[in-house]
């Protein structure tokens, strides 16, 4: 199973939440969109345990099962389509999450997230 993490999905797993930990243990590949990596590091910089959290993230990223994905030109096409679709539905989502959704649709990945607005993207499987 391949699995992508949203910021809160990573936090749930890092905090030992059973569902998140179980999904990560079963995953053959764990994907972090670059946006999630940026959100995590922004939180670390603003928080009081930044060095400890960064060390845990660095260890996580060192796993051979973990991969970071980045936007490319194809991603921008998915972004545009999803933006228009969500606007037409009347269910826009935050910009960072729109980039995450575009990457996941492009790479056909399910997402571990507690953000309900990902449910507005029918092309996404939200775990």
What range does the domain containing 111 cover?
2-120
Does the residue 96 lie in any domain?
A: yes
pLDDT digit string (tens) for the chain, length 127 residues = 999 999 999 999 999 999 999 999 999 999 999 999 999 999 999 989 989 999 999 999 999 999 999 999 999 999 999 999 999 999 999 999 999 999 999 999 999 999 999 999 999 999 9
The whole-angstrom separation of Cα 107 and Cα 87 is 22
> Is residue 109, in this structure, part of any structural domain at all?
yes
Would 54 be classed as within a structural domain? yes
Number of domains in the chain: 1
CATH of the domain at 47: 3.40.50.1010
Give the pair of three-digit tokens for residue 48.
Answer: 């009081």
Q: How many CB atoms lie within 10 A of CB 105?
A: 17
């Amino acid at each position: 199973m391949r699995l992508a993490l949203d910021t809160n999905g990573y936090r749930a797993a890092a905090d030992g939440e059973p569902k998140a930990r179980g999904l990560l243990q079963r995953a053959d590949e764990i994907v972090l969109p670059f946006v999630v990596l940026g959100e995590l590091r922004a939180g670390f910089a603003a928080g009081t345990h930044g060095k400890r959290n960064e060390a845990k993230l660095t260890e996580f990223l060192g796993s051979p099962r973990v991969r970071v994905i980045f936007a490319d030109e194809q991603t921008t096409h998915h972004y545009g389509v999803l933006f228009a679709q969500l606007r037409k539905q009347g269910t826009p989502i935050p910009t960072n999450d729109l980039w995450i959704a575009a990457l996941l649709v492009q790479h056909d990945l399910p997402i571990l997230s507690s953000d309900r607005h990902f449910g507005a993207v029918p092309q996404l499987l939200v775990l």
